């Protein structure tokens, strides 16, 4: 008999599922040991139904979440008949379990009802400070195969029948540079998953497994219906966009990503035919990760009340030829695949700009920069990585945001005080860079600058960044943002660092790493920008008087006061338009 669905109870349970996923996220953040999880918040949590479909997401990293389903399908199939109460599973490998990259480790706990029937899963994924491999932080852009990137884990039982697998924990500890942080974060994930299980068990006790299953399925159907309605608002057609990653190493060759987006009534297909073949460097992405980023981009243009569950992805198809940058095959390295995920989202926005000009942004800074440092400190190894955020492009209604994460990752810069307390590093600059946002009627966000001084000799440094050779583009007459750059200043000399450096750098004590992200793209004609907004930017230090004149045709009467000569501005703009 089909169970009648009460819409009020459906909304109550939807919020209940989401509250559990969010509680998991908060517990993981508060109990984590590493700064990349605790402070940068590079992790995700979700509740899945018995079939491995997400029913609720924590407020964490969108580019993680869409790939849970593929990993869960593998786990459920591989352990069929061997999934029992008291088990906890762990795994990370992109090829063995359809994971993402080796630093992202899944810790997953099954949830059973009072009759020992599998009802749901409490799932977590966290970016660990180190999993071994060629370089501290395990984000080796110079790796040429996954075996160089660190410890590979198929799905294994981290806990079986309530007993922790000490042998597995010892294997993990022996293969990473900072075992206290890695094992601490694994236990934080276990604590979060346990909280998810207990929260769902409370719902089971109140409503029963049959009712929760029926309402979970109804939630998926509701999300699909709302997703199809949102897609139906996009004009039918085929939309095309090509973007590039700058390239690998000191002599980069552009790496193209090509997207054909087809909208047909209530369905949408993202076809990546034409994208570069996989490369001999750690930026390759598994198809599950490519799908996740397409889902995240399309979810961002849907109404806010669409449930964040698997159902909204049903009308979306993602295809890519095997052996390409966005559907890599073994043994391609994947450690720095995040930069490719960001570019996937940028391509979706670029393709949609023609169809939905008022609902997408101009190009962003290209996602977070990921610097990594490592070495010895106080007689013990240290590893420090962070996600430097971030700048958005402008829209048809407002300037691009500055100092915010890319929409693919709800993450944060690590507080300066935490860095300087725990690592032999000193932050010497952190702030906005004037004149870097793409000009437009609405200005792109301005660049973020951050610099780290090494306080110990023989400090490893590597960075994953982008958008130097292909800076963020503007839309509809808006200008490009200023390109990214990284340089090392040592012994009175400065030398540039490639955006995707394949060779590690070794810093001596006193060396300074200075990094500037790209500025966001502008939207619309810069000569249509309200002079009052230009004056505000001057007052805020986001542009200089020279930039006001050359980019916007605005004449500054008094640079100290930031006042505008409107008559001279009208004259100058008329001559520039002519």
* Strand-pair partners of 395: none
**pLDDT score of 366:** 87
Contact 294, 348 (CB under 8 A): yes
CA 152 to chain centre: 22
Q: Which of 271, 270, 264 is nearest to 232 (CA)?
A: 264
**pLDDT score of 47:** 98
What DSSP assignment string belongs to 442-508?
Answer: BPPPPPEEEEEEE-SSSEEEEEE---SSSPPP-BTTPPPPPPPEEEEEETTEEEE--TB-SS-EEEP
Contact 413, 387 (CB under 8 A): yes
Q: How far apart are CA 139 and CA 116, in angstroms?
A: 41
Structure tokens at 565: 């000569």
Angle between helical axes of 545-552 and 531-539 (0-180°, round to 10): 150
The conformation of residue 99, written as its DSSP 8-state character, comes to -
Read off φ and ψ for residue 570, nearest 5 degrees.
Answer: -60, -40
**pLDDT score of 96:** 93
Please give the model's pTM, rounded to 2 decimal places.
0.96
**pLDDT score of 61:** 86
> pLDDT tens across 493-521, in order?
999 999 999 998 999 999 999 999 999 99
**pLDDT score of 288:** 95
Q: Is 381 exposed, middle or buried (0-12, 13-18, 19+ CB in 10 A)?
A: middle
Domain definitions of the chain by residue range = 7-223, 361-529, 531-577
**pLDDT score of 65:** 82
**pLDDT score of 29:** 96
**pLDDT score of 559:** 80
Q: Which of 448, 401, 446 is nearest to 543 (CA)?
A: 446
Contact 482, 519 (CB under 8 A): yes
**pLDDT score of 25:** 97
> pLDDT tens across 137-191, in order?
999 999 999 999 999 999 999 999 999 999 999 999 999 999 999 999 999 999 9
With a cut of 70, which residues of the chain have pLDDT below it? 1-2
Q: How far apart are CA 438 and CA 476, in angstroms?
A: 12
CA 452 to chain centre: 23
Distances (CA, A) of 513 to 451, 482, 491: 5, 19, 13
Read off φ and ψ for residue 425, nearest 5 degrees.
Answer: -140, 150
Contact 62, 345 (CB under 8 A): no
Contact 102, 182 (CB under 8 A): no
Tell me what percent of the chain is helix, strand and coil, each rounded to the nearest 5. 30, 25, 45
């Amino acid at each position: 008999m089909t169970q009648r669905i009460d819409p009020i109870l459906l909304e109550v349970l939807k919020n209940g599922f989401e509250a559990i996923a969010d509680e998991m996220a908060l517990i993981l953040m508060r109990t984590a040991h590493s700064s990349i999880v605790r402070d940068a918040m590079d992790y995700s949590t979700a509740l899945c139904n018995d079939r491995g479909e997400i029913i609720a997401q924590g407020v964490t990293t969108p580019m993680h979440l869409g790939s849970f389903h593929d990993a869960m399908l593998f786990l459920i199939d591989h352990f069929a008949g061997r999934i029992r109460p008291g088990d906890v599973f762990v795994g990370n490998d992109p090829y063995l379990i359809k994971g993402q990259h080796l630093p992202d480790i899944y810790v997953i706990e099954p949830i059973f009802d009072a009759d020992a029937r599998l009802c749901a899963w409490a799932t977590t994924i966290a970016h660990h400070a180190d999993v071994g491999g060629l370089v501290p932080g395990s984000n080796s852009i110079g790796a040429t195969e996954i075996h160089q990137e660190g410890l590979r884990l198929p799905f294994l039982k981290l806990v079986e029948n309530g007993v922790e697998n000490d042998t597995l924990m010892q294997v993990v500890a022996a293969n990473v540079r900072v075992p206290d942080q890695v094992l601490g974060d694994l236990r934080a994930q276990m604590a979060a998953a346990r909280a998810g299980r207990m929260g769902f068990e409370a719902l089971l006790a109140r409503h029963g497994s049959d009712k929760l299953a029926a309402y979970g399925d109804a939630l998926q159907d509701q999300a699909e219906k709302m997703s199809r309605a949102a897609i139906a608002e996009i004009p039918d057609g085929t939309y095309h966009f090509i973007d590039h990653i700058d390239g690998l190493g000191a002599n980069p060759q552009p790496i193209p990503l090509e997207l054909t987006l087809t909208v047909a009534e209530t369905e949408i297909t993202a076809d990546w035919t034409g994208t570069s073949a996989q490369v001999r460097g750690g930026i390759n992405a598994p198809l599950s990760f490519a799908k996740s980023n397409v889902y995240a981009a399309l979810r961002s243009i849907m109404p806010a009340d669409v449930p964040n569950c698997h159902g909204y992805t049903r009308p979306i198809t993602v295809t890519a030829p095997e052996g390409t940058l966005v559907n890599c095959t073994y043994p391609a390295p994947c450690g720095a695949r995040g930069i490719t995920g960001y570019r996937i989202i940028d391509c979706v926005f670029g393709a949609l700009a023609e169809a939905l000009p008022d609902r997408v942004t101009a190009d962003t800074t290209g996602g977070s920069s990921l610097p990594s440092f490592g070495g010895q400190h106080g007689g013990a190894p240290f590893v420090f990585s962070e996600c430097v955020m971030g700048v958005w492009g402008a829209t048809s209604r407002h300037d691009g945001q500055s100092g915010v994460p890319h929409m693919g990752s709800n993450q944060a810069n690590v507080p300066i005080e935490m860095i300087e307390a725990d690592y032999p590093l000193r932050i010497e600059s952190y702030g906005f860079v004037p004149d870097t946002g793409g000009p437009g009627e609405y200005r792109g966000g301005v660049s973020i600058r951050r610099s780290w001084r090494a306080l110990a000799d023989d400090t490893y440094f590597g960075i994953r960044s982008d958008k130097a050779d292909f800076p963020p583009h503007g839309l509809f007459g808006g200008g490009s943002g200023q390109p990214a750059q990284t340089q090392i200043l040592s012994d009175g000399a400065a030398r540039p660092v490639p955006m995707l450096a394949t060779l590690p750098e070794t810093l001596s004590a006193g060396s300074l790493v200075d990094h500037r992200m790209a500025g966001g793209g502008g939207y619309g004609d810069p000569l249509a920008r309200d002079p009052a907004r230009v004056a505000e930017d001057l007052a805020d230090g986001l542009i200089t008087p020279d930039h006001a004149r050359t980019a916007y045709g605005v004449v500054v009467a008094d640079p100290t006061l930031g006042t505008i000569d409107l008559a001279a501005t009208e004259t100058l703009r008329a001559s520039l338009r002519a």
